[in-house]
Structure 1
Amino acid sequence: MTAQGFKFIFFTGKGGVGKTTLACATAVAMADKGKKVLLISTDPASNLQDVLGTPVSDQVTQHQDLNLLFTVNIDPQTAAEDYRKRVIDPLAAIATADEISKIREGLSGACTTEIASFDEFSRFITGEGLSEIFDTVIFDTAPTGHTIRLLELPAAWDDFLGNNPNGASCIGPSSALKSSRERYEKVVSSLRDPLQTTFFLITRPDAASLKEAGKTSRDLIDLGMANQSLLINGIFQARDQTDTTALKMEKIAERELLEMPGILKNLAAEHYPLLPYNVLGLENLRSVFDTDLQSKIVAAEFLKLTEAGHLLPDLKALVDELEKNSDSGLIMTMGKGGVGKTIVAASIATMLAHRGHTVLLTTTDPAAHIRDFMDQLTAIPEKLTIERIDPKIETKDYIDKIAAQKGKHLDEEGKKLLREDLQSPCTEEVAVFHAFSKAIQSARRRFVVMDTAPTGHTLLLLDTTGSYHKEIMKNMAVSPSKITKPYMMLQDGVFAKILLVALPETTPMREAEALQKDLQRAGIVPYAWVINECLSAVNDLKDPLLRKRASAEVPIIDHIAAHLSKRTFEIPYIAEEKLLPAILSRYDDAVIQAI
């Protein structure tokens, strides 16, 4: 790996692609070569301690078996809570408990967490966090482009964030930040210096991960951070040529890599194989870059093959439950990117329509994957209607309305800052939820299946009556009753069925669990979990690597079913390019009878 010679190394990518594994392996390799390394994680689901096999805390700590490796874990939730406290404490004497509660919720979104985390680890870049005594500082999880843009905006920064109480800001006043604008300017300058800093974009050989990496690459380049490399993790090669699933998986991955975003094709790329073992501990981490050691461990793992055994209800059983004693209602698929929300929504909507129900399938998928899946069918069921809400259009309209009102008395820099702040994920969710509201209302008379739902934080923002949230309602020209009513409808577990979609892997499971807690804070209890792409649910696996991966899924699935969900359903890994017809041919009675 071309990591030598850089002071700061960032690993970034969507959840579950292997950022932590490759960051830790790099840190160990550099420490083995005599470099003094500090490894910092800002991953909310961080498992640095498990991967490195050493205690890791919020203080810089030396590895117990590798003297030149040091770690520190910045917990984003702890950082965000400390940040909220610094905002709220000065208001204790002048605000009511209800007002403080609303301010706290306003600061509970993704933007606040990102800013607070960046605030914490910025000191490790400027040298105030002792980075000057290390040869290299490695970051597991880089800041988003949105966060960096917010922090680099110049004039009126303090004035706008600190003195504009009616501003639609989800990051709070700048007075709550530990760092100054000057420090952030120094941080951004260091990130742009190709002699000091490099970014590794981590992806798997699948469309969702590659798309995310392409977007990240473009965002970084736009910010002047073009020193990038692509690390493609989890490349699968079939070991048993008689295993049809293995051969199809290999072929699909090859096609996905050929069709990767063009911006990624210009980057130097390194490939890392899918391994049959968990990369935990120093020896396994060293095997990532040591192919001889890797082969030795793989051979030993294949001698310990065990059969995967569990049985969960399938997609047909889920649809049976959803339509039981009802011909209407709201069904929402939620989850992190790349877990299969869209295919689950498309499958459920099509199956319900084939059963004679009137169904609306609506999505905010910016890449219109829903249409890609539906186009795989020879015909769309007559009772199925498909709509697409364009997040960019909805968000632009909303931002234009707020900017016109809020920007009246701001100078050009203030207007620029206001618009940048309104580019947050929270803003998009609020704008999109407005468009969703009409569809939610119609679920009294038909089934409405929604691909991608608002988070619990967004719903709480819409339900509260604080000044910021009144502005949202006013600028969207929607009465409070029309916003609150859909929110209350989502709290009705009989009417609204929230489906959390996850993969049978540790990181996606933890991310879905965090999303579930977010919803529960808003009084919304998910109806069920759908675990997608389960190798452990595939019959007749012969390939030893796939069999090993399947057995590793079992404890994760068992944990979900036992501790996280009252209802758990699974979909097997289906190695087909036309995925929707393949799923329907398994589970849709109307399709099965027609075959």
Structure 2
Amino acid sequence: MAPQLSPVSATRSSFPPTWEALHLTLVSGKGGVGKTTLACGLARHWAQQFPQQQLLLLSTDPAHSLGDVLQMPVTAQAQAVPDRPNLQVQALDAKQLLGAFRDRYGAVLELLVERGSFVEGEDLTPVWDLNWPGVDELMGLLEIQRLLNQRVVDRIVVDMAPSGHTLNLFKLMDFLDTILSALELFQEKHRVISRSFTGRYTPDEADTFLHELKQDLAQGRAWLQDPQRTACLVVAIAEPMSLLETQRFVAALATLRIPLGGLLLNRILPLPPLAPSPTAWDTLPWEQRDRLSEQQQLLEQFTTIAPDKPVLTLPLLATEPIGALGLDTLMAQVERLSQVVRVPPPAVQWPDPIPPGLTDFIATGRKLILVGGKGGVGKTTVAAAIGLAMAQRHRDRRIRLISIDPAHSLGDAFGQTLGHEPRPIQLDALAGDAGPLHLSGQEVDAEQVLQQFREDYLWELAEMMSGEQAADSPLQLAYGPEAWKQIVSEALPGIDEMLSLVTVIDLLERGEQDLIILDTAPTGHLLRFLEMPTALSDWLAWIFKLWIKYQDVLGRTDLIGRLRGLRQQVVLTQKKLKDPQHTEFIGVVQAQAAIVTEAQRLTQSLAALGLHQHYLVHNRYTPGQVLTGDSLGDSPGETQRKPLAQDNPFAHLEIVRLPPLPRSVTPLERVQGAAHLLFAEFADSPTQT
């Protein structure tokens, strides 16, 4: 079959003129698609194009890899890129920013909360030292707004976290507006009291703070939502799960009124120069044709996501685009997508399993499996494959897959729709004579989790924090619980993930599920998630201390009793997470320098947290690859590099190799194939069903 052109071949084009005029460029997308690489490449490109401008490349991702890509140290202090002196690079440190925020505003915030509650200033001091959920996103948003409002530089390029957590950051604009409204009520209560005693009111430092904060937040929102100055560039790769997540992400950006600049489609295979004959595609290697066929089919679908926005492509290079030369080489090959070529798929070929595989986790007594790693390495596929393999092996057991990543793709992995409530995954075609498979799945809806938490605890806690128990008090009705209810009506990102973990442990303890597999968020937010039980325990301990001090005034022993029950669940969760007989973490890695470096850091962090890890899944493994100290060379033509030292963080792990899966198959067939390759002893291959 000769190559055919559709109405939609890539023609050479510079970056769109609208991009060149941007003051703020936000680079985001599904994890693992190359967001950091393209953010670094764009910043270097514009620094060269506009030498008279001062540029800042910034990362809000807690597990950033700017230094790995730029091949230079990157810290919380902005520093110039050696060959681009007008470009500075910085990775935000949320704790450092929180400390600076406390130094600047801590006293006045404590004063406002004291005016709106029963607590005294000294009671609030410990709050600053607690682990805040969502502090990464909150401090990131405030710092971006500060840089824009103060015009610190001419142009900012932000390497954002993966799409789900990027949306959480943007949603914090509404959160901050709500907090401001609540603080205004606290201050208005103070004003009313002052007038009732003195007949007049003199504005104080709290009024000045509220006025300035209101202005800053309004200006920051205006910047972020101004299409003349700001745009979010969405990075993707031509794979089905990336397409689906990009569709959802672009729709969410529109809802939040964040301007979309366009799409950047990364790692596109070049079309080979073939003679126009019916057998032309048969001359290509099988894997190249398989990937070309899928990519070209999906490219056309990408053009329909935002028809009025530019779609640019970047090629898959022979070596990883890191360092100055690699990044500049990549940026020189950006092209505008205008046509796609229909490539007929080859006959499906499944690879053979490569021992060793994963173990039978149910037989070894595991109850909870956490699958994690850098975004885009294949966590969801591996989690789905584990669930399917265990369901095939143990048809009398109840197994559940749960996604806690804000940007869910668990349903996409099976080609089925999942929601907040668990539902059976349709596996009738795989049942056979052995009977049905008891595998269910759910994608946790943060808002539903939080709403239940509010109803169980927070609404009553808000009334308690107001310190005003007299229901007939006009002052109480106007300014007391109302302000606190506004506060708890919003929530910092991360609370929902932690509450989901508590629920998971409860399901296992009550015997409702025999095994739960968690598809987790990318590395930085995974670590925050694992730290959340400790954080919630500390917050509850602070509330108990306040209640003990003021219990004669507060009462509410029933609420405190229920909160103590919650803390007991949290303590049990902490214990179960660190029990190697109960919980196992499985890391997933691919053959790229930034990925293996992040996997090393994750392994070290897990050990520090006391979590058990025995396996590391090397996804998309090809024969001859060796774990190396600075890369895992799987790019075409890439040579192997120095093996990791014997004392490397992976030395104690069993490496399980998962070869590349064929692309021209259904989602369920792909999961079934992965299950067979990871558990060859008892998971059927797609060719056996």
TM-score, with length taken from structure 2? 0.66
Alignment of 1:287-326 (within 5 A): 287-291=329-333, 317-319=357-359, 322=361, 326=364
Alignment of 1:56-75 (within 5 A): 58-67=76-85, 69-75=86-92
Could you tell me which residue of structure 1 aligns to residue 680 of structure 2?
588
When residues 427 and 335 of structure 1 are mapped into structure 2, their CA distance, relative to the original with a 3 A threshold, is: same
Offset of 1:411 from its aligned partner?
Answer: 6.9
- Are residue 33 (structure 1) and residue 49 (structure 2) matched? yes
When residues 554 and 488 of structure 1 are mapped into structure 2, their CA distance, relative to the original with a 3 A threshold, is: farther
State the Cα deviation string for residues 4-51 of structure 1 (Å, max 9, x = none): 222222222244322233233323333333442403222444454564
Alignment of 1:11-90 (within 5 A): 11-35=27-51, 36-42=53-59, 43-48=61-66, 51-52=69-70, 58-67=76-85, 69-77=86-94, 79-80=96-97, 82=99, 86=103
Contact in 2 for aligned 1:74/1:121 (Cα 8 Å) = no
Contact in 1 for aligned 2:97/2:139 (Cα 8 Å) = yes
Contact in 1 for aligned 2:24/2:157 (Cα 8 Å) = yes
When residues 435 and 503 of structure 1 are mapped into structure 2, their CA distance, relative to the original with a 3 A threshold, is: same
- Which of the numbers 435, 438, 443 marks the counterpart of 1:385? 438
When residues 237 and 319 of structure 1 are mapped into structure 2, their CA distance, relative to the original with a 3 A threshold, is: farther
When residues 158 and 387 of structure 1 are mapped into structure 2, their CA distance, relative to the original with a 3 A threshold, is: same
User: How many aligned residue pairs are there?
Assistant: 546
Offset of 1:413 from its aligned partner?
Answer: 6.7
CA distance in 1, matches of 2:543, 2:304: 41
State the Cα deviation string for residues 246-270 of structure 1 (Å, max 9, x = none): 2212223334445559644553211
CA distance in 1, matches of 2:207, 2:300: 45
When residues 256 and 148 of structure 1 are mapped into structure 2, their CA distance, relative to the original with a 3 A threshold, is: farther
Could you tell me which residue of structure 1 aligns to residue 504 of structure 2?
436
CA distance in 2, matches of 1:439, 1:261: 43
CA distance in 2, matches of 1:352, 1:561: 33
Task: Return the letter of the residue paired with 1:566.
Answer: H
State the Cα deviation string for residues 311-370 of structure 1 (Å, max 9, x = none): xx95753225x466x355433323455433333233223334444574432123355346
CA distance in 2, matches of 1:49, 1:254: 33
Task: Name the SS of the counterpart of 1:9 in structure 2.
Answer: strand
CA distance in 1, matches of 2:427, 2:307: 28
Q: How big is the alpha-carbon RMSD for the aligned residues of Structure 1 and Structure 2?
A: 4.6
- Are residue 397 (structure 1) and residue 449 (structure 2) matched? no
CA distance in 1, matches of 2:621, 2:29: 22
Contact in 1 for aligned 2:315/2:333 (Cα 8 Å) = no
Could you tell me which residue of structure 1 aligns to residue 611 of structure 2?
524
- Are residue 341 (structure 1) and residue 432 (structure 2) matched? no
Task: Return the letter of the residue paired with 1:156.
Answer: S
Offset of 1:216 from its aligned partner?
Answer: 3.6
Could you tell me which residue of structure 1 aligns to residue 266 of structure 2?
233
CA distance in 1, matches of 2:207, 2:295: 46
Offset of 1:77 from its aligned partner?
Answer: 4.6
CA distance in 2, matches of 1:243, 1:492: 47
Alignment of 1:344-355 (within 5 A): 344-355=382-393
CA distance in 2, matches of 1:553, 1:433: 42
Offset of 1:95 from its aligned partner?
Answer: 6.8
Aligned residues with identical type, % of pairs:
18
CA distance in 2, matches of 1:328, 1:508: 27
- Which of the numbers 571, 581, 591 marks the counterpart of 1:504? 591
Structure 2 unaligned residues grouped into runs of 5+: 1-14, 111-120, 190-205, 273-280, 336-352, 417-424, 467-479, 546-557, 627-631
Could you tell me which residue of structure 2 aligns to residue 138 of structure 1?
157
CA distance in 2, matches of 1:556, 1:472: 59
Could you tell me which residue of structure 2 aligns to residue 192 of structure 1?
225
Task: Return the letter of the residue paired with 1:117.
Answer: G
Contact in 1 for aligned 2:312/2:334 (Cα 8 Å) = no
Offset of 1:152 from its aligned partner?
Answer: 4.2
Alignment of 1:355-374 (within 5 A): 355-356=393-394, 358-365=396-403, 366-367=408-409, 368-369=411-412, 371-372=414-415
Offset of 1:508 from its aligned partner?
Answer: 3.9
Structure 1 unaligned residues grouped into runs of 5+: 165-172, 294-312, 540-545
Task: Name the SS of the counterpart of 1:524 in structure 2.
Answer: coil
Q: Which range moved further: 193-202 or 496-505?
A: 496-505
Contact in 2 for aligned 1:437/1:486 (Cα 8 Å) = yes
Task: Name the SS of the counterpart of 1:588 in structure 2.
Answer: coil
Q: Which range moved further: 44-53 or 526-535?
A: 44-53
Contact in 2 for aligned 1:10/1:138 (Cα 8 Å) = yes
State the Cα deviation string for residues 494-528 of structure 1 (Å, max 9, x = none): 22212123333344445555555665554323333
CA distance in 2, matches of 1:527, 1:472: 41
CA distance in 2, matches of 1:486, 1:257: 44
Contact in 2 for aligned 1:83/1:116 (Cα 8 Å) = no
When residues 378 and 276 of structure 1 are mapped into structure 2, their CA distance, relative to the original with a 3 A threshold, is: same
Task: Name the SS of the counterpart of 1:534 in structure 2.
Answer: coil
Q: Which range moved further: 411-420 or 225-234?
A: 411-420
CA distance in 1, matches of 2:559, 2:441: 23
- Are residue 419 (structure 1) and residue 477 (structure 2) matched? no
Task: Name the SS of the counterpart of 1:151 in structure 2.
Answer: helix
- Which of the numbers 150, 162, 186 marks the counterpart of 1:127? 150
Task: Return the letter of the residue paired with 2:532.
Answer: T
CA distance in 2, matches of 1:150, 1:351: 42
- Which of the numbers 246, 252, 258 marks the counterpart of 1:213? 246
TM-score, with length taken from structure 1? 0.75
When residues 482 and 278 of structure 1 are mapped into structure 2, their CA distance, relative to the original with a 3 A threshold, is: closer
When residues 22 and 183 of structure 1 are mapped into structure 2, their CA distance, relative to the original with a 3 A threshold, is: same
Contact in 1 for aligned 2:233/2:263 (Cα 8 Å) = yes
When residues 228 and 536 of structure 1 are mapped into structure 2, their CA distance, relative to the original with a 3 A threshold, is: farther
Could you tell me which residue of structure 1 aligns to residue 657 of structure 2?
570
- Which of the numbers 516, 534, 541 marks the counterpart of 1:460? 534
When residues 259 and 473 of structure 1 are mapped into structure 2, their CA distance, relative to the original with a 3 A threshold, is: farther
CA distance in 2, matches of 1:553, 1:77: 38
CA distance in 1, matches of 2:334, 2:92: 36
CA distance in 2, matches of 1:570, 1:21: 26
When residues 570 and 53 of structure 1 are mapped into structure 2, their CA distance, relative to the original with a 3 A threshold, is: closer
- Are residue 201 (structure 1) and residue 273 (structure 2) matched? no
Task: Name the SS of the counterpart of 1:229 in structure 2.
Answer: strand
State the Cα deviation string for residues 530-581 of structure 1 (Å, max 9, x = none): 2323345799xxxxxx986167596699589932462132312212432123
Task: Name the SS of the counterpart of 1:156 in structure 2.
Answer: helix
State the Cα deviation string for residues 457-487 of structure 1 (Å, max 9, x = none): 2222354442459999977895544443243
When residues 556 and 145 of structure 1 are mapped into structure 2, their CA distance, relative to the original with a 3 A threshold, is: farther
Task: Name the SS of the counterpart of 1:425 in structure 2.
Answer: coil
